[in-house]
Amino acid sequence: MRLDERYVPYLQMARLYHLARLNDRWFRLDEPLVSAFVERWRPETHTFHMPFGECTITLQDVAYQLGLPVDGDYVSGCLTDFHLYIEGGRPAWQWFHELLGVLPPENQVQKFAVNCTWFQETFAECPDGADEETLFADKSGNRIHIRWLPYVARLEEMGRYSWGSAALAWLYRCMCRVANRHVVKLAGPLQLLQSWIFWRFPTLRPSGYDEISWPLASRWSGYNPGISNKGPRVQMARLKIDLLQPRQRTRRHPGCTSGGLGASAYDVMALQDVPDLLCGCGVASG
């Protein structure tokens, strides 16, 4: 979906412009490689168990890979009976209509989640003459829960939230669900996971993608691994991971003066506190 220039000031105000730019520079998911990594995820410690030890994605990685803010207020809300807390006590769908000017048909709604295809078809193009009172949504996954309406209604305040923490916590939660409940299909911000794999393990990254830009995930723009022979490719990815050595792991991002050798306060929070709130999992002590 082409990014209309009229969206840019609002995306910048929400501190989400870096992420929106990736719509034009995105890459395909290497499902076999990602699946092989997720197999090594341990919900007890929120880490990947690798041949040389443990490692995990931190808030620093989210900030570098996606350009999302990792400081500010936390993103929170209630999925159960959330509509009772809508501003002014108005019904949730009434507020939806006030913000967007239209309601989705019943076949595009599952409880309080709206299919993203409906958003894309309805708001794919920014209409001529659209003003500040008009709000739009872009596609992101399969459905969008309308519990996010309070955030969308106050775009000028979106920049004060730690969206990077929310993205990382959601990724942790999705990987924990796969490990704990034998979920077949993995969801979540998987492009974040894949870009992290490519940056941290150079032997697993595709060749020919040498230009570095911001955010770092845009480096893999146009990458398309194909969808054939998934079974053999999963086995090959497992073998490559089994053969990884400590020296084959990159410990820092470009321009990171810390070298990535120590865990910051943000990293510790990402590894322990944030996922526990969403996964219901404990972190192993010691």
With CA atoms as reference, report the closest residue to 32 among 183, 235, 181. 235
Predicted confidence band of residue 269 (pLDDT cuts 50, 70, 90): very low
Give Dmax over CA atoms of the chain in angstroms.
60
Note the pLDDT tens digit of each residue in 4-57. 788 788 888 887 887 777 766 677 889 999 999 999 999 999 999 999 999 999
Highest mean pLDDT among 65-69, 236-240, 244-248: 236-240
Does residue 33 contact residue 152 with C-beta atoms inside 8 Å?
no
Predicted confidence band of residue 136 (pLDDT cuts 50, 70, 90): very low
With CA atoms as reference, report the closest residue to 97 among 64, 74, 117, 122. 122
Mean pLDDT across 187-202: 92
- Beta partners for residue 113, in sequence order: 110, 145
Q: Between residues 42 and 248, which one has the greater pLDDT?
A: 42
User: Distance between CA 47 and CA 143 in Å, rounded?
Assistant: 28
Q: Which pLDDT value is given to residue 24?
A: 61
- Look at strands 47-50 and 41-42 and give their pairing: antiparallel
User: Distance between CA 192 and CA 238 in Å, rounded?
Assistant: 20
pLDDT of residue 263 exceeding 60, the answer is no
Torsion from C-alpha of 261, 274, 111, 91, nearest 10 degrees: -120
